Amino acid sequence: MRRKALLSVRPFHGQMRERGRGRETDARPRSVTPRLRRTLGLLAPLLVLLGVLAVSVVLLGAKGSQSFIDGAVTASVIIPGAIGLSLLYGIRKFANFAHGELMTLGAFVAYFVNVQLEQSIVLGFLTAPLVLAFVGIALEWSIFSKLEGKGPVAALVASIGVSLILQNLVAALWGTDFKVYDVPLADTIPLPGGHRIAPIKGLLTLALGATFVLSVHFLLTRTTLGKAMRATSDNMELARTTGIRARRVILWTWVLSAALAAVAGILIGFSRDIRPTMGFDLLLLVFAAVILGGIGSAYGAMLGGLVIGLATEMSGPYLDWLDTNAGLVHGIAYKPVVAFLIMVLVLLVRPQGILGGKRPAGGTGAVRWLRSRLVSRGGRSAPAGVDHGL
């Protein structure tokens, strides 16, 4: 029983990092972040890419700009997957390693409708998200709701289990040989400047990607549900107090995440073979996009997906050059490495990503931290703004 103290209660949120006990206290008030810095942060990667594009065109001509087009297509494949993963990560607070399998399942459902039932692929586009939505709800209801509050690792490991179940279920039901959709995929259409683009693989994918980006934007900004999702992702406790039914929001997030995964899966199926590992193979790129953009932010996922897609494809001609000139055997196979390097860079320098809010508990820029470890004792002034500990 405390004695009464003579003080007025003025809330002040110190930046306390409580690890092990699992508490993440939000530190800085967001309104204080200068907008200019944010906008610059947003634009910086795009400007870098445009710079790389310019250099590529100068050095490699049409090959350089072709890789930009290819990159846009790849981005359209990554973005829906990244949005879904990021939203779920932000609300359920765990990395869903089964997200790749959700994409795979979506692709196979569409395959079932398109090839085995001999319907139009459009019906596939409608059925797959529906089926996946139910799968998502089932997963939440049976597994992940029960793991709430047990920390990010428990759910992550459970999602690994789910990934094993789903991937092998798909393989058991459909077999492991490579499949394709029943759509015209191969021929490419010429574009001005000596470029080429495939109608389905390229144009349709781009169009669908853009459509979904706009739809998600509309959902998040104009609908009540969307606003509720953003609020819950930011701060679930606070959102609850304003009357938002977290249960509902969580379920709808699963629906959205799984449905977007389904779409992403079908788009993958357009540009690559349909097989049980197709989703997992892209998971690294999707994770890179989510981390780059900031966990929990749909717009971050869009930006991250764009950057990762473009960067991965635009590195192609350079890797090719390294192949012929520097002995990097099978150079273009290393395209995913670019995404990995970007991801590691983000984790080192700014783990919360471009649009992520607070510095995550237990994550501090390793570069700054390393610098702080290297300073010697005594007789020097403290470096400004270096964060310690953790």
Partner 1 sequence: MRPEEPILRIRGLRKAFGGIRAVDGVDIDVAAKTITGLIGPNGAGKTTLFNMVCGLYAPDDGEIWLGDHRIDGLPPHLIVQEGIVKTWQIPREFRNLPVLDNVILAARAHPGEQLVNLLIRPMSSRRTERRLERAALDILQIVGLAELAEEPAKSLSGGQKKLLELARALMTDPQLILLDEPMAGVNPVLATRLMALIQSLRDAGHTFFLIEHDMEVVMSRCDRIIVMHEGRKIAEGLPAEVRRDPAVLESYLGG
Partner 2 sequence: MVFEVLPGDIVEIAAFLSMASIFALLTLGLNLQWGHTGLFNAGIAAFFALGAYAAAILMTPPSPPLPGVYPGHLGGYSMPFLVAVGGSALLAAIAGLLIAIPTLRLRADYLAIATLGLSEVLRLYLNNDEPRTGGTYGIYQIPKLFPEYGFTPHQVEVLTAVVAVILLVVVLALLQYVGSSPWARVLKAVREDEDAAEVLGKDTFKVKLQAFVIGCAIMGVAGSLFTVFLAFVEPVTSFRPLTTFTVWAMLILGGSGNHRGAVFGAFLFWSFEWITVRVSLFAGGTARPSFDQIDLMMAVVTIETIILLWFLLWPRWRKRSIGRFLGVSAAILAAENLLLASLLFVRLPPWLLERLALIRLMVVGLLIVLIVMYRPQGVIPERLQTIWRERPV
**Residue list 258-287, contact with partner 2 (CB under 8 A):** 280, 284, 287
φ/ψ (deg, to 5) at 23: -100, 130
**Residue list 124-163, contact with partner 2 (CB under 8 A):** 143, 146-147, 150, 152-154, 156-158, 160-163
Least gap, CB of 9 to partner 1 (angstroms): 6
Q: Binding to partner 2 by residue 343, rule CB under 8 A?
A: yes
Alpha-carbon distance of 107 to 97, in angstroms, equals 17
Which pair of structure tokens corresponds to residue 21?
A: 């006990």
Partner that binds at residue 237, options partner 1, partner 2, none, CB closer than 5 to 8 Å by kind? none
**Binding window for partner 1 (CB under 8 A); candidates: 12-20, 78-86, 200-208, 344-352:** 12-20
Which pair of structure tokens corresponds to residue 370?
A: 């390393």
- 10 Å Cβ neighbour count for 176? 11
Q: Binding to partner 2 by residue 288, rule CB under 8 A?
A: yes
Partner that binds at residue 1, options partner 1, partner 2, none, CB closer than 5 to 8 Å by kind? partner 1
Q: DSSP string of 150-169? A: SHHHHHHHHHHHHHHHHHHH
- Print burial letters for 103-118: b (CB count within 10 Å at least 16), e (below 16): bbbbbbbbbbbbbeee
Partner that binds at residue 161, options partner 2, partner 1, none, CB closer than 5 to 8 Å by kind? partner 2
CA terminus-to-terminus distance, the chain: 33
Q: Which residues contact 266 (CB under 8 A, 6 or more apart)?
A: 106, 107, 110, 121, 124, 125, 128, 181
Q: Is 369 exposed, middle or buried (0-12, 13-18, 19+ CB in 10 A)?
A: middle
Q: Binding to partner 2 by residue 322, rule CB under 8 A?
A: no
- Alpha-carbon dihedral sign for residues 288, 294, 296, 297: negative
Judged by CB under 8 A, the number of residues near partner 2 is: 57
Alpha-carbon distance of 7 to 30, in angstroms, equals 27
**Residue list 20-39, contact with partner 1 (CB under 8 A):** 21, 27-29, 32-33
Among 5, 36, 58, 326, which residue sits at the site for partner 1 (rule: CB under 8 A)?
Answer: 5
Partner that binds at residue 6, options partner 2, partner 1, none, CB closer than 5 to 8 Å by kind? partner 1
Alpha-carbon distance of 209 to 358, in angstroms, equals 29
Pattern 363-382, binding to partner 1, x per CB under 8 A? ---------xx-x-xxxxxx
**Binding window for partner 1 (CB under 8 A); candidates: 8-16, 160-168, 176-184, 338-346:** 8-16
Cβ distance 307 to 295 under 8 Å?
A: no
Nearer to partner 1, 32 or 58 (CB): 32
| Residues in contact with partner 1 by the rule CB under 8 A | 1-3, 5-12, 14-15, 17, 21, 27-29, 32-33, 372-373, 375, 377-389
| Residues in contact with partner 2 by the rule CB under 8 A | 17-21, 94-95, 143, 146-147, 150, 152-154, 156-158, 160-169, 171-172, 280, 284, 287-288, 291, 329-330, 333-334, 336-337, 340, 343-344, 347-348, 351, 360-364, 366, 369-370, 373, 389-390
